């Protein structure tokens, strides 16, 4: 937690896409880095919007129940009790978009409505420590994974970029993505198999 946290959340309210996105649960590092990225770029302020942020655990439970029951309008949703991974004393559950046991959500989905190029957007966001962590999902960003905080600036004024060359950072990101992707694939496969045993067939989905 840092002093300007609530103020940053208020600032981020101004970049919601439809207005129903919930930014109030964003974990402090993600809120800090996303606010910083917006403050430093008029391009992002003009065109980048928050399409999906966090949802309470109760909402994840509702989505998962609807998906399991095969109700119309419900897409693949993660089981709120599946374990994503552990870091330090924290166990991450369900989806990065779901409220975690510490009360925070750890991912944000962004949209530019085809007005920008993702490569350009990623350059701007990486400069503030926001990284894509799900291959094939250029909109999905996190500042923290099961490996801890990803490279970037911190509210106390320090930055891990100072200690890392771009080449090291590249390797770090590759490894983080690889580990995360591998874990996600295995979890999705297990989920698929359990669905098959229950006689339902899951559809392809994202990190939801």
Q: Dihedral, CA atoms, 138, 132, 48, 96, nearest 10 degrees?
A: 100
Q: Which of residues 125-164 bind Zn ion (CB under 5 A)?
A: 140
> Least Å distance between CB 97 and Zn ion?
6
Helix (H), strand (E) at residue 32: helix 28-40
Structure tokens at 80: 């709120």
**Contact flag: residue 207 with Zn ion (CB under 5 A):** yes
> What are the Cα distances from residue 109, in Å, to 4, 6, 37, 65, 163?
22, 20, 14, 23, 28
Q: How far is the CB of 189 from Zn ion (least distance, A)?
A: 20
Output the smallest distance, CB 13 to Zn ion, in A. 19
Counting contacts by CB under 5 A, is residue 55 touching Zn ion?
no
Going by C-alpha positions, the residue among 134, 122, 24, 49 that lies closest to residue 84 is 134
The C-alpha angle 11, 176, 107, rounded to 5 degrees, equals 25
Instruction: Decide if 69 contacts 39 (C-beta within 8 A).
Output: no
Q: Which is nearer to Zn ion, 169 or 208 (CB)?
A: 208
Backbone phi, then psi, for 93, in 5-degree steps? -120, 155
Of 26 and 107, the one with the shorter C-beta distance to Zn ion is 107
Among 21, 27, 109, 169, binds Zn ion (CB under 5 A): 109
Based on CB atoms, which residue is closest to Zn ion, 136 or 166? 136
Least distance to Zn ion from the beta carbon of 47, Å?
19
Count residues binding Zn ion (CB under 5 A): 4
- What is the nearest approach in angstroms of Zn ion to the Cβ of residue 120? 20
CB nearer to Zn ion: pick between 169 and 207: 207
Q: Which residues 6+ apart lie within 8 Å of 75 measured at CB? A: 67, 203, 205, 208
Q: Which stretch binds Zn ion (CB under 5 A): 23-31, 68-76, 178-186, 200-208?
A: 200-208
Residues that bind Zn ion (CB under 5 A): 107, 109, 140, 207
């Amino acid at each position: 937690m840092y002093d300007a946290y609530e103020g940053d959340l208020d600032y981020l309210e101004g970049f919601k896409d439809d207005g129903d996105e919930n930014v109030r649960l964003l974990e402090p590092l993600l809120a800090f880095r996303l606010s910083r990225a917006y403050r430093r770029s008029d391009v992002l302020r003009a065109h980048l919007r928050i399409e999906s942020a966090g949802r309470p655990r109760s909402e994840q439970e509702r989505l998962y129940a609807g998906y399991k029951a095969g109700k119309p309008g419900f897409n693949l949703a993660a089981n709120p009790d599946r374990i994503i991974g552990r870091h330090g004393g924290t166990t991450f559950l369900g989806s990065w978009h779901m409220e975690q046991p510490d009360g925070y959500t750890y991912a944000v989905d962004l949209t530019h409505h085809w007005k920008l190029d993702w490569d350009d957007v990623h350059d701007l966001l990486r400069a503030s420590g926001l990284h894509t962590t799900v291959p094939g999902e250029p909109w999905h960003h996190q500042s923290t994974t099961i490996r801890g905080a990803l490279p970037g600036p911190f509210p106390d004024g320090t930055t891990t970029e100072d200690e890392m060359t771009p080449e090291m950072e590249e390797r770090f990101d590759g490894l983080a993505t690889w580990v995360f992707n591998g874990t996600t694939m295995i979890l999705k496969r297990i989920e698929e198999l359990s669905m098959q045993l229950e006689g339902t067939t899951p559809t392809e989905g994202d990190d939801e």
